[in-house]
Amino acid sequence: MKVSSMPEPRNTINNPVIPGFHPDPSICRAGADYYLACSSFECFPGVPIFHSRDLVHWTQIGNVLDRPSQLRLPPGTPSSGGIYAPTLRHHDGRFWLIVTNVSDGGNLLVTATDPAGPWSDPVQLPGVKGIDPDIAWDDDGTCWCTYAGVEQVRIDPHTGQTLGPPRRLWSGSPDAKAPEAPHLYHIGDYWYLLIAEGGTERSHGVSIARGRTPAGPFEPCPDNPVLSHRGTDHPIQNTGHADLVQAPDDSWWMVLLGVRPGGGTPGWHVLGRETFLVPVDWIDGWPVVGELSTVMPAPPWPLQPPAVPSGRDDFDLAELASPWISLRRRSTENCTTKERPGWLTLHARGGSLDDTDVTFVGRRQQHLSCRARTLIDPADGRGGLAVRLDEQHHYDIEAASGEVRVTARIGPLNTVVASRPIPAGPVVLRIEVEAVRTVNDARTGPDAVSIGIEEPDGTYAELTALDGRYLSTEVAGGFTGRVIGMFASAGSVHFDWFGYEPLEG
């Protein structure tokens, strides 16, 4: 199940190139193919991986950590815990991915010959103590791991053993906090150390230094930060956590995370941190980042035709498609398409979306305005459709025999805001998100979330409309974005299909 953005004119591209909750992008190229991985936090499976031939149109081809032997997220893993900041590289005929599980075991490394998988079971890296690990190889085969702080240590990537003590490198600008997300590159006569700094909020930025060896010493770029939108009213904010890639025509490009705040003051972003693309030139041995915007000139090569697949899943396959995610774990005992052919069956674990162990299957919200629908048969239990940020911030419509009700969880408040009786049998649940186009008041929220059901004749019966600001990072905190999906809160519930469609141009 994949949904693309609306087709763009051939001389421009739409940014973000991977919309929705896809933060901390890391990119590599193998021949004519590009591959990109993102953080996944408390979601299972972990680390979505994408493929592109043109840097613009991306297709998810799998998840790197898709087995319990690779990814352990204990039931108590908090939202915004779990998997942080992968680095993806192609070296010596293999793909390598190094990442941090902050909730279980720290840093780990996996490999594959095909980035679509399967990926190996992890090699643990107990001697690498920081988050956001990077991996790079010197010409003599030495493997360097650099991580947030910024520190560096030599490692054996096959065993996970550290080879000597860590040493401190360049830690960014003197007046910037949180040097993190390091990436090390050998380009021309220099080794370049790219980092994020300033924190992952409005002060986020990208800075760079260079040295003659991978261990430094490093001199900072005189024009740091090379990219930041801090202190501006630019529609893309929180820009940082970048990675560089060289195209076959020798041009250079940067992928990075950013957010699109909406509404009035202070601005609320609801989709999480998204993946953006921007061109890079090299002048006097330093990268100069081009203008980042939501509509940009297209790269100079032919673009691949954008995929426009259906946003509907009829659950006819034995396994769920790769964009579907659950919370912390997923087992066939609680989630299956085989029990009732053509339906997704969910068996309840936790009693509600307030519980960390709830049975939930969802997809990232990728458009500022969108519609999600599902046909549920609640005859054997209770469950429904939800738009979720975390356990304390979600809106959901729940169906049980004879009734639907809408609940809003906003921090410590948990309120049933609407309900109505329904006839026995399946019912179509619906959530519509409409972005605010005109700000009439500084306190205007970013969007409205309409929740209701469809009548037997297909007409929409709205039960309530809620302010979307309460499902935003500015309210909830954390590092994730909205996910829309299905859940079971008691017994067993069955879903015949799920549909998602953008409602914006």
pLDDT tier for residue 6 given thresholds of 50, 70 and 90: very low
Full-model pTM: 0.96
pLDDT in tens, 285-295: 999 999 999 99
Q: Is residue 8 part of a domain?
A: no
pLDDT in tens, 303-331: 988 777 679 999 999 999 999 999 999 99
User: Which CATH number fits the domain that encloses residue 477?
Assistant: 2.60.120.200
- Residue 505 pLDDT > 90, yes or no? no
Q: Is residue 303 part of a domain?
A: no
The verdict on 331 and 293 lying in the same domain is no
Of the residues 265, 297, 329, the one at which a domain ends = 297
H or E element in which residue 473 lies: helix 473-476
Regarding beta strands 413-421 and 381-390, do their DSSP bridges make them parallel or antiparallel, or are they unpaired?
unpaired
The verdict on 230 and 378 lying in the same domain is no
Q: Is residue 10 part of a domain?
A: no
Q: Is residue 18 part of a domain?
A: no
Active site (annotated) includes residue 447 = no
Q: Is residue 16 part of a domain?
A: no
- Residue 167 pLDDT > 70, yes or no? yes
pLDDT of res. 247: 97
- Residue 235 pLDDT > 50, yes or no? yes
pLDDT in tens, 55-87: 999 999 999 999 999 999 998 899 999 999 999
What is the secondary structure of 330-391 as a DSSP string? --TTTEESTTTTTSEEEE-SSSSTTSTT-EEEEEE--SSSEEEEEEEE-TTEEEEEEEEEET
Q: Is residue 280 part of a domain?
A: yes
Q: Which residue has the tokens 């500015």?
A: 474
Q: Is residue 132 part of a domain?
A: yes
Query: Please, are residues 145 and 126 in contact by the beta-carbon 8 Å criterion?
Result: no
pLDDT of res. 10: 63
The verdict on 384 and 498 lying in the same domain is yes
Tell me the C-alpha distance between 471 and 265, whole Å: 16
Tell me the C-alpha distance between 183 and 503, whole Å: 37
The verdict on 66 and 110 lying in the same domain is yes
Of the residues 264, 297, 330, the one at which a domain ends = 297
The verdict on 325 and 293 lying in the same domain is no
SS3 131: coil
The verdict on 376 and 493 lying in the same domain is yes
Tell me the C-alpha distance between 169 and 130, whole Å: 13
User: Which CATH number fits the domain that encloses residue 255?
Assistant: 2.115.10.20
Tell me the C-alpha distance between 321 and 25, whole Å: 21
Q: Determine the residue type at 468.
A: G
The verdict on 27 and 115 lying in the same domain is yes
The verdict on 254 and 342 lying in the same domain is no
The verdict on 292 and 328 lying in the same domain is no
> 360-393 burial by CB neighbour count: b if 16+ within 10 A, else e?
bbbbbbbbbbbbbbbbbbbeebbbbbbbbbbbbb
- Residue 181 pLDDT > 90, yes or no? yes
The number of folded domains in the chain is 2
Q: Which residue has the tokens 């609407």?
A: 418
Q: Is residue 9 part of a domain?
A: no
pLDDT of res. 2: 41
The verdict on 236 and 316 lying in the same domain is no
The verdict on 365 and 273 lying in the same domain is no
The verdict on 94 and 66 lying in the same domain is yes
- Residue 7 pLDDT > 50, yes or no? no
Of the residues 297, 325, 350, the one at which a domain ends = 297
Active site (annotated) includes residue 434 = no
Mean pLDDT, the chain, whole residue set: 95
Q: Considering the candidates 42, 132, 180, 243, report the single residue annotated as catalytic.
A: 180
The residue segments making up the domain with residue 252 are 23-297
Return all residues near 467 (Cβ < 8 A) that are at least 6 apart: 445, 448, 449
